[in-house]
Amino acid sequence: MTDTATTAAGRTPLVALTDVAKSYGNVRALHGVSLDVHAGEITCVLGDNGAGKSTLIKIIAGLHPHDAGTYTVEGEEVRHASPREALDRGIATVYQDLAVVPLMPVWRNFFLGSEPTRGRGPLRRLDTATMRATTRDALLRMGIDLRDVDQPIGTLSGGERQCVAIARAVHFGAKVLVLDEPTAALGVKQSGVVLKYVAAARDAGLGVVLITHNPHHAYLVGDRFVLLKRGAMSGSHLKKDITLDELTREMAGGSELDELTHELSRTPAAPEAAAAAEPETTA
């Protein structure tokens, strides 16, 4: 559901999906999903495996078109034909695998596909000095101080690679940053570092979509929460309207969790049965 009160107040979302649906043959992957992404805010999309998070990412990123509903960018209805078209509209997506070349240096990966050049004709060559300096400056502006931008990006930790990808999106003018489970394979400390830079992207004025199955990480940085279950929305909340415990409980299934807890709880043995189970002692 779009936040009509906020929209009525005069804030047009950077991205808005309304009752979006997507099917693959007879398989309904998404149905009736709505969300708003505002500048300077983080919209968290939560759900377990199979909830429809990946399909939602692909629609926002322009990889797959939606079958029903509306998708607007800054108030204009769109139907992206490719990820490049979405990127041209300022929507950058960082997937879990990051699409980096491990053996290439950090600066080379930072400019991968957008390399500046010097000279003309047969003398045209990569402007490596500019790329090195720009990469270093862009990372420092995000508060990322790498040891050396010449080191292969594969030697960085998972958290550091995520941070480089975030800084790259900010540098190249993204308005909306979509992050696919950025903390999924990371430890507690690295997850904290990544969330710090997710918040930095928000503070830089970007609208952020954070896809995650971890309600604790979402609640640390999120402003809005959309919960998916089996391809449909099971909840949509502003942070001021929900606590972490309520968010965790709603994501876990609420009444389903209560039923499971009851099934798994131990029933105390009756006193007579407990006494009968005790071995007799001999004097």
Q: Which helix (H) or strand (E) holds 45?
A: strand 42-46
CA–CA distance, 168 with 144 (Å, rounded to integer):
12
Q: Are 13 and 37 in contact (CB under 8 A)?
A: yes
Exposure of 160 by Cβ count < 10 A (0-12 exposed, 13-18 middle, 19+ buried)? buried
- Give me the CATH code for the 4-104+171-277 domain, please: 3.40.50.300
Strands (E), 47-166: 68-73, 76-77, 91-94, 117-118, 125-126
pLDDT at 2: 44
- Residue 61: closest CA among 84, 36, 38: 84
DSSP 3-state of 263: helix
pLDDT at 101: 87
Q: Are 142 and 197 in contact (CB under 8 A)?
A: yes
pLDDT at 158: 84
Query: DSSP H helical segments within 9-116, as ranges?
Result: 53-60, 83-88, 106-110
Q: Buried b vs exposed e over 188-220: b needs ≥16 C-beta within 10 Å?
A: eebbebbbbbbebbbebebbbbbbbbbbebbbb
Q: Which helix (H) or strand (E) holds 219?
A: helix 215-221
Residue pLDDT tens, the chain, 283 long: 444 434 445 688 999 999 999 999 888 899 999 999 999 999 999 988 888 899 999 999 999 999 999 999 999 999 988 888 999 999 999 887 777 888 999 999 999 888 888 888 888 888 899 999 999 999 988 888 888 899 999 998 888 888 898 888 888 889 999 999 888 878 888 888 899 999 999 998 999 999 998 999 999 999 999 999 988 999 899 999 999 999 998 887 655 555 655 566 665 555 555 555 565 555 4
DSSP 281: -
pLDDT at 6: 45
Residues in the chain: 283
